[in-house]
Amino acid sequence: MIGEALAISAFLFAIGVFGVLTRRNVIIVFMCVELMLNAVNLSFVALAKLHGVAGHVFVVMVMTVAAAEAAVGLAIVISVFRHFGTAELSALRHLRDEW
């Protein structure tokens, strides 16, 4: 049971990494990061069956940080979209203000 859950978690994490590496749309890359966070959460919950309830507490923390990250990240996406007129990662080449 725990071994299967950990294997599912590994597959989900790998799928998330594949998405981050192959997509260019900022929002989809973001959602792949969320998928990776979910995979790690599944590992935490599975191992909590062996090591006690601390794993569940970690999952609560991860979810809070994920919510904060989504809020700030999507605000950055909106800001970038206003600036460049696109949400493609390949359009973001400069750190300076004008381009």
Partner 1 sequence: MITFFEFQFYLFGVLALASALLFVTRRKPVSAALWLINVMFALSGLYVMLDAPFVAAIQVLVYAGAIMVVFVFVVMLLNLGDSPVSDARGTAVQVGAGFVTLALLANLLVVQRGPRASVASAPDAENAVTPVAVSLFTDYLLAFELTSIVLLVAVIGAVVLAKRRARP
Q: Which of residues 32-51 bind partner 1 (CB under 8 A)?
A: 32, 34-35, 38, 41-42, 45-51
Could you tell me if 58 and 47 are in contact, meaning their C-beta atoms sit under 8 angstroms apart?
no
Check residue 99 for interaction with partner 1 (CB under 8 A).
Answer: no
Per DSSP, the three-state class of 25 is: strand
Q: What gap in Å lies between CA 55 and CA 46, rounded to an integer?
A: 8
Structure tokens at 16: 């998330």
Residue 29 CB, nearest distance to partner 1 (Å)? Answer: 9
At which residue do the structure tokens 């192959």 appear?
A: 22
Of the candidates 81, 84, 91, 92, which one interacts with partner 1 according to CB under 8 A? 81
C-beta separation of 30 from 76 below 8 A: no
For the four alpha carbons of 79, 83, 88 and 89, in that order, the dihedral sign comes to: negative
CB closer to partner 1 out of 65 and 99? 65
- Residue 3 or 94: which CB sits closer to partner 1? 3
- Contact residues for partner 1 (CB under 8 A)? 1-8, 10-19, 21-25, 27-28, 30-32, 34-35, 38, 41-42, 45-54, 56-57, 59-61, 63-72, 74-79, 81-82, 87-88
